[in-house]
């Protein structure tokens, strides 16, 4: 869970140093997709893979998140969403 904060902050610090505060907040906005955890019981299950299970963690949404990362106006939020999904996917397979 710590990586969901540390990685976005590191990306903001490395690539958006001049606008670190704004960039880090927008990249951290990618955490909002975890709201879909509130729709299931138990809310947090360490044995459950979020990717493919939760509503906003579906495989078909990953290209949408990548597209958001490619569009300049939505780039920072898209980067946050892609980082979030990548970290969740890693959690499933490590």
Q: Alpha carbon of 4 to those of 21, 51, 72, 73: distances in Å?
A: 17, 15, 23, 22
- Going from N- to C-terminal start, the domains of the chain cover 3-93
- pLDDT on residue 30: 94
Q: Summarize the confidence of residues 63-81 as an average pLDDT.
A: 98
Q: Which two tokens stand for residue 12?
A: 């903001």
Backbone angles phi, psi at 90, to 5 degrees: -60, -40
Quote the pLDDT of residue 13. 98
Spatial separation of the C-alpha atoms in residues 67 and 56, rounded to whole Å: 15
pLDDT tens readout for residues 25-70? 999 999 999 999 999 999 888 889 999 999 999 999 999 999 999 9
Tell me the average pLDDT of the chain.
95
Question: Comparing C-alpha atoms, which of 63, 61, 49, 60 is closest to residue 92?
Answer: 49
**Model confidence, pTM:** 0.94
pLDDT at position 45 = 87
């Amino acid at each position: 869970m710590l990586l969901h904060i540390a990685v976005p902050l590191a990306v903001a610090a490395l690539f958006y140093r001049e606008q670190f505060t704004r960039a880090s907040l927008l990249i951290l906005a990618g955490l909002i997709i975890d709201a879909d955890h509130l729709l299931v019981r138990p809310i947090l299950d360490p044995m459950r893979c979020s990717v493919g299970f939760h509503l906003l963690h579906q495989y078909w949404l990953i290209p949408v998140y990548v597209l958001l990362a490619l569009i300049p106006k939505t780039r920072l939020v898209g980067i946050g969403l892609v980082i979030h999904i990548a970290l969740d996917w890693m959690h499933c397979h490590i």
